[in-house]
Amino acid sequence: MVHVPTDPRPDWVLASRQAIGHRIATLRTARGMSVDDLAEAAGVDRKSVMRAEGASVSTGLDLLLMLADGLGVSVAHMVDVEVPRPPT
């Protein structure tokens, strides 16, 4: 049986979420897009973009798919971040 933590999440999960949020913001600014531009391109509201970039809450797969589409990248590219994990 695999133990799946609920709350609080392990530190590496938060660090990964923050790294993904930073990647989203980096991709957005590299394309010269504002938060509002990405929100419009992705078909979401600006608060969703801000939450994803700020990593203030867990981002669902649907939102990640929409943001990736709005940025013109794959979800895999958007979430391909390396965060050190403690040994198991």
Could you tell me which of 81, 49, 45, 83 has the C-alpha nearest to residue 64?
49
In tens digits, what is the pLDDT along the chain, a chain of 88 residues? 566 656 788 888 889 999 999 999 999 999 999 999 999 999 999 999 999 999 988 889 999 999 999 999 999 999 998 877 777 6
Could you tell me which of 35, 33, 42 has the C-alpha nearest to residue 67?
42
Map out the domains of the chain as residue ranges. 34-80
Predicted TM-score (pTM) of the model is 0.85
Q: What is the pLDDT of residues 34-48, one digit of tens each?
A: 999 999 999 999 999
